[in-house]
Amino acid sequence: MLEGTCLCGALHWTYSGEPDGATACNCTACRRYGVLWAYDYEDVGIKVSGVTQTFSRGRALEFHFCPTCACIAFWRSKSLDEQGRRRIAVNLRLAEPDTVAQIPIDHFDGLDTFDDLPRDGRCVADYLF
C-alpha cells in the first residue's frame, strides 16, 4: 500500500497495491501543478481523508487541495461510471520518495492530442530530483 500526505499532514490518501505507472500530463492544469498521477476508483483502490477545497475543471474534474498548506492531493471525476464507481487519481509527489521511486512514468499529451505517448524508460525517481 502507498500513502501520501500534504505538507501540513491534514490531508491523507492511500493507494492499495502498486500502480503500474505514474502519469505525467502536459495539460494546462497538470503542468502548472507539477503532479504525477496514479489512478483507480474512490473507496475501491484509493481512499482519501481530511478536509479539502476544490477547483472545478470544466464539467468533468475537480482538483482537491489542502485548505491549509495548498498541496494538490488528488482529482476526482464529477460523475460516476456505468458501474457506479468514481474515478480518482492521487498525486504521487505526496508519497515518500523511496516508496514510489521505481514506478515507471507514462506520458499523456493532455494539451494537444489526448494520446498516451510511449514510455521512455524514466521512472518517478527521475522526476523527483
Average pLDDT per run of 10 along the chain, which is 129 residues long? 98 96 95 96 97 92 97 96 97 97 96 94 92
Contacts of 26 (CB under 8 A, 6+ apart): 107, 108, 109, 110, 111
Instruction: State the pLDDT at residue 117.
Output: 95
Domains of the chain: 2-128 (2.170.150.70)
Q: Is the pTM of this model over 0.75?
A: yes
Which of 129, 39, 52, 53 lies closest to 88 in space, CA to CA? 39
Instruction: State the pLDDT at residue 128.
Output: 85
What secondary structure letter does DSSP report for 87?
A: E
Which of 81, 93, 99 lies closest to 41 in space, CA to CA? 81
Instruction: State the pLDDT at residue 56.
Output: 92
Instruction: State the pLDDT at residue 21.
Output: 97
Instruction: State the pLDDT at residue 104.
Output: 98
Instruction: State the pLDDT at residue 23.
Output: 97
Instruction: State the pLDDT at residue 14.
Output: 98
Cell of 78: 464529477
